[in-house]
Amino acid sequence: MTLSVQWLTMGVMLLSGLGMGIVFDGYRVLSNELRFPRWWLPVLDILYWMTAAVVVFRMLYASNNGEVRAYVFLGLAIGVLIYHWFMSKTVIRSVRWMIRAAQALIRFVLKVFHIIVVKPILLLYKIAIVSLGFGTAITIYLMKIVIQLLRPIYILLWWMLRPMIKPLWRLLKPYWSKLQLRAGIGRLKAAAVNKWKHWLRRD
């Protein structure tokens, strides 16, 4: 292996160490800010280290065909230390700022949606309810007025037709009683037939 390949591999490992530090702080801050359950942290740690191992090996394979040498671990250690000393606080602040910016953006979008969509719908609903109630009240009021206006006509008609209605009622009363009796017999007959059909189907 040539010296240039070794330096290239060490530089790639150094960048991998920096990346591991950035991702580790990022997901830690994210889990704290979003208040993940505590039992999630060991799971996330395992997933992080598994992913980091796969990525580092992939980078190592791309740089020197996967040969593990001492300078590989040295490059990783230097990258992690450089990140911890010079970049960790900045990354943590940046991640927190991005989380708060995303939360503020979501709140803004929800507020705009509430103003543009929800409030007009609620206003239209209230207007419709008020209009419906107002229209119903006016309709009932007008019906009462119409009934009051028609009442004298109804009383007059009843007074004029009453002498003819009473004799006609006495004349038709026997036939009406017979019709009601026949209707009752028909209903009983239909009920008996239905019961009989139901009993035959059950058997």
- pLDDT one digit per residue (tens) for the chain, 203 residues: 567 777 777 888 888 889 888 888 888 888 888 777 777 778 888 888 888 888 888 888 887 776 777 777 888 888 888 888 888 899 999 999 998 999 899 999 999 999 998 899 999 988 988 888 888 888 888 888 887 887 777 777 777 777 776 666 666 666 555 555 555 555 666 666 666 556 555 55
141-150, Cβ contacts within 8 angstroms, sequence gap of 24 or more? none
* Global model pTM greater than 0.75: no
DSSP code, position 34? T
* The predicted structure's pLDDT at residue 14: 87
* The predicted structure's pLDDT at residue 185: 53
* The predicted structure's pLDDT at residue 112: 92
Q: Let me know if residue 139 belongs to a domain.
A: no
Sign of the Cα torsion 57, 61, 63, 67 reads positive
Cβ(82)–Cβ(14) below 8 Å: yes
* The predicted structure's pLDDT at residue 109: 94
Q: Let me know if residue 66 belongs to a domain.
A: yes
For the chain, how many structural domains are there in total?
Answer: 1
Q: What angle do CA 56, 61, 63 make, to 5 degrees?
A: 95
- What single-letter amino acid sits at 144? K
- Tokens found for residue 141: 């009021």
Q: Let me know if residue 166 belongs to a domain.
A: no
Q: How many alpha carbons lie under 13 Å from residue 190 in its C-beta half-sphere?
A: 6
* The predicted structure's pLDDT at residue 192: 64
* The predicted structure's pLDDT at residue 108: 94
- Domain hosting residue 86, numbered range: 3-120
Q: Let me know if residue 80 belongs to a domain.
A: yes
* The predicted structure's pLDDT at residue 11: 85
Q: Let me know if residue 169 belongs to a domain.
A: no
Element (H, E) at 109: helix 88-113
Whole-Å CA distances, 98 to 27, 105, 168: 13, 10, 93
* The predicted structure's pLDDT at residue 31: 82
How many helices and strands (H and E) does the chain possess?
A: 5, 0
